[in-house]
Structure 1
Amino acid sequence: MKSSITLFITVALSLTMSVFVCAKAATTTDKKLQQLKSDLVSLNKDIHLLKEQLLFPDSTRLSLYVSLAVNQNFSLHSVKVFVDDDEVIRKDFTDRQVNALEQGGIHRLYVGNVSAGEHTLTAFFTGVDEESRTYKRGITKTIMKKGIAKVIELKINNNKDPSQVEFDLIEL
């Protein structure tokens, strides 16, 4: 009887110890997995940056962004952009994207390559004004691309006349 109790206690203690060892091993494995995930995220970020630098080197990169002034009386629906009469992007905005722009967000429209020299950039904006009227407007600007990356913001601003909207192409 005494040996049965001793055997039972020994087995119970062995099982308890094995559970603690397994729990500690699981915790160590979880920490290693978390570190591996973190390393993979960092590596993915580095690969993405290298890929972008390879595909769009600074000497030819053109980046276009769109922003909307806060308290705007204009709801953006779409933007179409041409570089030297070639359409480079046509973007229809979702309600969620427009909401983000209205809260001060900036949306990257396009990243591409253009040669050095003079280029004509044309942007067409479509939306609805505060009275639900369709609003279409275009703007054209000549830009000079040099051997460095060119960044341009297509900015939709408030005008002095509250019923009008102003569109700008700003070189950053």
Structure 2
Amino acid sequence: MWKFCGTAIICVLIGYLPGAVVAEEVSREQIKGLDEKVQEIKSEALGIAAALSGLEEKLLYPSNTQLSLFVALAEGDNFRLDSVEIRINGKVVANHLYTFKELEALRQGGVQRLHTANVRTGEHDLQVTMIGKSPGGSEYRDTADFTIEKGVGPKLVELVLAGPDVNTKSISKKDW
């Protein structure tokens, strides 16, 4: 009886073996097509994610209440920025420690969006504190206070930071 069962099992396996080989060959031929479809789906998913991110930002920060703060370094300054703290109406809203790559990007003229928030129209107090090192290696810290007038549309503010060797104010504000 066991001999018959063993023989039957072997016959069944041999019968399925050619089908498995054909299935393997078909899947090899279709791999390229499947890879292309996967890449298409991936790019569509990335496009949808970008669109959703834009919609989310519009919903979270409507243009009539939006305040965005950007940071840049003064042109030609060798000041090494370590950190920036921003307060709006006395509340800390942003605190950032700079990496080497971020500092290099700022030195090459880059601008960093540091904070986006919803604020009511009217006047708001803005306090900016920066900490860094002068080219000589001494620690440098400065704080500046500003008043922001928020109107109906979005408010974009650039904060330009400079070290102690520059003849201008170390922290200045530009409205965009």
Give the TM-score normalised by the residue count of structure 1.
Answer: 0.81
- Residue 171 of structure 1, aligned match among 161, 170, 175: 175
Alpha-carbon shift at residue 69 of structure 1 (Å): 3.0
Separation in 2, partners of 1:134, 1:163: 18
Equivalent residue, structure 2, for 1:101? 106
| Deviation (angstroms), 1:158 | 7.4
Distance, in Å, in 1 between the alignment partners of 2:151 and 2:29 is 59
User: What secondary structure is seen at the aligned counterpart in 1 of 2:133?
Assistant: strand
Residue 138 in structure 1 maps to residue 143 in structure 2 = yes
Q: 1:89 aligns to what?
A: 94
Of stretches 124-133 and 63-72 in structure 1, the one that deviates more from structure 2 is 63-72
Aligned-partner Cα distance in 2 for 1:66–1:133: 22
Residue 66 of structure 1 corresponds to 71
Q: How large is the Cα RMSD of the aligned pairs?
A: 2.5
Largest Rg, 1 or 2: 2
Q: In the alignment, is the contact (CA less than 8 A) between 2:142 and 2:170 conserved in 1?
A: no
Residues 20-169 of structure 1 aligned to structure 2 (within 5 Å): 21-157=26-162, 162=166, 166-169=170-173
List alignment gaps of at least 5 residues for structure 2: 1-20
Identity %: 30
SS in 1 for 2:170: strand
Structure 1 residue runs without a partner (length 5+): 1-15
Structure 1 residues 115 and 165: alpha-carbon distance in aligned structure 2, compared to 1, 3 A threshold: closer
- The alignment of Structure 1 onto Structure 2 pairs a total of residues equal to 158
Query: CA deviation digits over 1:127-167, x for unaligned, max 9?
Result: 111111111111222111112111111112478x6477632
Superposition deviation, residue 92 in structure 1: 1.3
Q: Which has the higher strand share?
A: 1
Distance change (3 Å), C-alpha of 1:121 and 1:162 = closer
Distance, in Å, in 2 between the alignment partners of 1:32 and 1:95 is 40
4+ runs deviating over 6 angstroms: 16-20
Quote the residue 1:4 is aligned against.
Answer: none
